[in-house]
Amino acid sequence: MNQALSGIRVIDMTHNQAGPACAQILGFLGADVIKLEEPKGGDVARTNMRDKPDSDSLFFLILNANKRSLTLNLKTDEGKALFKKVIAQSDVLLENFGPGALDRLGLGYDALRTVNPRLIYATIKGFGTYGPYSGFKSFEPIAQAMGGAMSVTGFPENPPTYVYPAIGDSGTGMHMAIGILAALQQRHATGQGQHVEVSMQDAVVNLIRVSLRDHQRTGRPMPRNGNQLGRTVPGTTYPCAPGGPNDYVYIFAQPQMWRAFTGAIGQPELTDDPRFKTPDGRWENREALNAIVADWTGQRGKHEVMRILGEAGVPSGACQDTGEVLADPHLRARDMIVDVEYPTRGTYQTVGCPIKLSESPAEVRRPPLLGEHTTEVLAALCGVGADEVTRLREQGVV
């Protein structure tokens, strides 16, 4: 079965998380993603986050499925020449090197568009290639700090808080995937490629736009509100049995769900209680109402609470820890948690494709070993035979 992006070739020159996440999602959707790595060591994530002596790290594996690996030394003339032959037959180049790194190698956008005018040259940078901060490097926490996410996360008595879901890294990668798909679509009409750029700060700002709206509504910085969502009550986390560090449930009972909620918790008399009858009343008397809700949830497990309220039509969710997410039967049923076999590790669990296409479902294939596909890629795209690859390998070119 042809997949949505069958026939699209992506050269993935990225490392760490933002770029690899983008390339992996394109690979899930059917693109031929060739991960281009240095011959000695490859992507630093293979080894510098290693958790098992003889295997690439789990960090590398969860971000590099559905790719082939080609090794090239771009600091050699032969390596650059082979690279340009590959680029001439590719659709997308994805890079997240430090500012100016590829330009110094003579492999920037202006140089490569002469090699392949149809090339989509996709650049991920911490702060982009222009603007006052464009020369600065960035990582996930920096992007969250500069994008405003940390200032609105946490409880008011605590400092701005780092969010562990990688909105700066993987969030940027997903924005870039959208940009690449848009550029490919435009190429159908124009026949020309273009430069696509996403900065980590820009991606974070896009994700906190509602908080920026609130600033403009009130005229002051949005405060940290902990887990409370707006003025809705119930609208926060509540403790559950048996009282472990993650034994909580999030409940969000919108005003039209108030009667369903009180019935579900077995206290229908609260429906018309003067203190709680209106949304404003529930907000003004939230301490008393939250105590009632917490007493009910505290006598039940978080998944039981979620089931009871879910069946009543009231949104709620158990606060699952990472182990519970890996074992979640719903995620398993949706192929979001899948088992993968890797030669040097054995079986590990990873995250599948969140985009479900009815006519071309995604398949998760194991990540490549370093340089695993060098011979076949160079043969197919550069006409280089196996003996020549051996010579190039001996000379440190591949």
Distance from C-alpha of 56 to C-alpha of 43, rounded to nearest angstrom: 10
- Nearest partner of 138 among 119, 156, 124, 159, judged by Cα: 124
Do residues 367 and 65 touch, judged by C-beta distance below 8 A? Answer: yes
Distance from C-alpha of 327 to C-alpha of 315, rounded to nearest angstrom: 22
Amino acid letter, residue 322: T
Name residue, tokens 């609260």: 270
Full DSSP string of 157-179: TS-----SS-TTTHHHHHHHHHH
Catalytic residue from among 32, 169, 202, 247:
169
Indicate the burial class of 347 (C-beta count within 10 angstroms; 0-12, 13-18, 19 or more): exposed
Angle, CA 203 vertex, CA 117 and CA 336 arms, to 5°: 95
Q: Is the C-alpha dihedral spanning 49, 55, 61, 66 positive or negative?
A: positive
- 169 among known catalytic residues: yes
Residues with catalytic function? 169
